[in-house]
Amino acid sequence: MRILQVCKKFPYPLKDGESIAINNLSKSLNDLGADMTLLAMNTTKHYFDLKGQNNPFDHYQEIITVDIDNTIKLKDAFLNLFSRQSFHISRFVSRDFEKALIRLLKRSSFDVIQLETLYLAPYIPLIRKYSDARISMRAHNVESEIWTRITNNTSSFPKKIYLKYLSDKLHRFECRMLHHYDILMPITSRDLGIFRQMGFKGNAVVVPIGLDSTEYKADYDSFRKKLSISFIGSLDWMPNIEGLRWFLKNVWGKIQKELPGIQLHIAGRNTPDWLKNIKKKNIVVHGEVEDAAAFINEHSIMVVPLLSGSGMRAKILEGMALGKVVLTTRIGLEGIDATDKQEILIGDDVRDMVKAVKWCSKQNGRLEMVGRRACDFVQSNYDSMEIARKVYKAYSSTTVEIV
């Protein structure tokens, strides 16, 4: 089976959920015998220089990248107010990328062309013109749901109006494109249900984020240290910034009153200046860390305070795979069937977040059991090879829906 994987950014380094999901599935499909080719935008926002890098990409037969300037420009944002096109989508429409895709399709044939996220959907007509491959859409999120949630959480009325305008156009585009996929691969069963409500009637397979458990070494020594909390995530992704701001403004001070000595350690790519310069007690901002697993392993609690978003959060799975106690919201936990105080901790508001951290402080050596159950849970339910086998079966089928 020959598979072309098309990405809106180069899926490396493995420091965000999208890159982890793309990389792990492609490696596992290759291990099952698929020939993988990668065509990726190399954007200004997530530019990756392949020169001089050690080769972590030997599961691809060929890698093609196209430099794309997708910087948000005020002029383009303003002019989009008078356009029917979604501004979110239009930033990834590129003539140079079209040319590279045409050249590739003219010289190579594929059985499946796997589009990673909705932002590649504008290229479907071109793919249909130059290839008879089946088109698979791997929907990492219900994209319009993310922006609807962000809109609803926005307090500024003018900003709320503008965001609603953008999210409504994105929603219409997302609904319209559902009729153009040969197979839809949402990350969660919940997302598939939403796509069905939006009008999708075709073949689908739920493809959660898979992890190679051999790459995650849980270190339970953190449970024998003084209690501390970590946060790690891409700090240029709106839901992460939104959730972290809420946690710092509303939750952290109350945790400090209850547990004066506890520290919060924050790490992530593209740390904004306001966070670098934050002056709150017992907060350490690390910026981008070289080894995310080592950073997570230093702290017994990992907080993921998401108020919006969609799909699945890879960082939650990674934290659990490393045997940490992950504290998140129900929105953060969507797509992960873990149980509160068994493999995970859930806190949807300030009171519950503070209560959960206090509960951790009173476990007297028993907190490690939550981390061990979390590690076992991920190994049992999110193995990348098992997920890839399901995808391979779906690609080999023509009409059967596999959920």
Whole-number pLDDT of residue 382? 93
What pLDDT is recorded for position 85? 82
What is the C-alpha separation between 138 and 186, in angstroms, rounded? 6
Domain with CATH 3.40.50.2000 in the chain: 2-210+383-396, 214-381
User: What's the confidence (pLDDT) of residue 74?
Assistant: 74
Helix (H) or strand (E) holding 294, with range, is: helix 292-297
| Locus of tokens 């954007």 | 43
The tokens for 371 are 């981390």
Which phi and psi (to 5°) does residue 34 adopt?
-75, 140
Q: What does each of the 403 residues of the chain score in pLDDT, given as a tens digit?
A: 999 999 999 998 887 888 889 999 999 999 999 999 999 999 988 888 877 666 678 899 999 999 998 777 777 776 777 777 888 899 999 999 999 999 999 999 999 999 999 999 999 999 999 999 999 999 999 999 988 988 998 989 999 998 999 999 999 999 999 999 999 999 999 999 999 999 999 999 999 999 988 889 999 999 999 999 999 998 988 899 999 999 999 999 999 999 999 999 999 988 999 999 998 889 999 999 999 999 999 999 999 999 987 778 889 999 999 999 999 999 999 989 999 999 999 999 999 999 999 999 999 889 999 999 999 999 999 999 999 999 999 999 866 555 5
Query: pTM for the complete prediction?
Result: 0.82
pLDDT at 401: 57
Please tell me the predicted confidence (pLDDT) of residue 185. Answer: 96
pLDDT at residue 71, as a whole number:
79
State the helix-helix crossing angle for 314-321 and 367-381, rounded to 10 degrees.
120
Please name the fold of domain 214-381.
Rossmann fold (3.40.50)
Alpha-helical (H) ranges within 335-398 are: 350-361, 367-381, 384-396
Q: Residue 348 phi/psi, 5° resolution?
A: -95, -15
State the CATH class of domain 2-210+383-396.
Answer: alpha beta
Longest dimension (CA), the chain: 65
